[in-house]
Amino acid sequence: MNKVRKSLAEWQAQLSPEAFYVTRQQGTERPFTGEYNQHTESGIYRCVCCSTPLFASDTKFDAGCGWPSYFSALNPDHVREEVDESHGMIRTEIICNVCDAHLGHVFPDGPPPTGLRYCINSVALQFEPA
């Protein structure tokens, strides 16, 4: 897998201010405001930074948490997990393994078959219809 590496200035020029804040500065969009929170169209959700396919619409579910949620990644090699100890909590951060973009977090309270809830910021994604 070829890594995508750019300077912060290059990312800032490529991304919207909110997408830059979330993906390059580990920010979070406000709940229930993201474009894909209630999105139900069939297709693939890609990384907004490098277009790597991350999640499929058939793994998306309404977790009621205010962010798009998926029970599995499209390809486990495309995402990686890191411990996030920010905000006085211990969480598992999800990062694009190709460009190191912060995507969101994963929690162990999702539906079968995985029991996982990948809670992802809409601005970290771009949608490709089926």
Supply the CATH number for residue 95's domain: 2.170.150.20
Q: Which of 47, 49, 96, 119 is catalytic?
A: 119
Residue 1 has what pLDDT?
Answer: 74
Task: Indicate whether 1 belongs to any domain.
Answer: no
Domain region containing 18: 8-129
Residue 92, CA atoms < 13 Å, CB-side half-sphere = 11
Q: Count up the domains in the chain and report the number.
A: 1
pLDDT in tens, 40-81: 999 999 999 999 999 999 999 999 999 999 999 999 999 999
The residues pairing with 102 across neighbouring beta strands, listed in sequence order, are 95
**Cα–Cα distances in Å, from 39 out to 33, 45, 62, 81, 88?**
12, 11, 10, 25, 31
Task: Indicate whether 108 belongs to any domain.
Answer: yes
Task: Indicate whether 63 belongs to any domain.
Answer: yes
Task: Indicate whether 81 belongs to any domain.
Answer: yes
Task: Indicate whether 97 belongs to any domain.
Answer: yes
pLDDT of residue 87 exceeding 90, the answer is no
Residue 38 has what pLDDT?
Answer: 94
Task: Indicate whether 15 belongs to any domain.
Answer: yes
This prediction's pTM: 0.95
**pLDDT level of residue 27 (50, 70, 90 thresholds):** very high
Task: Indicate whether 3 belongs to any domain.
Answer: no
Task: Please say if 99 is a catalytic residue.
Answer: no
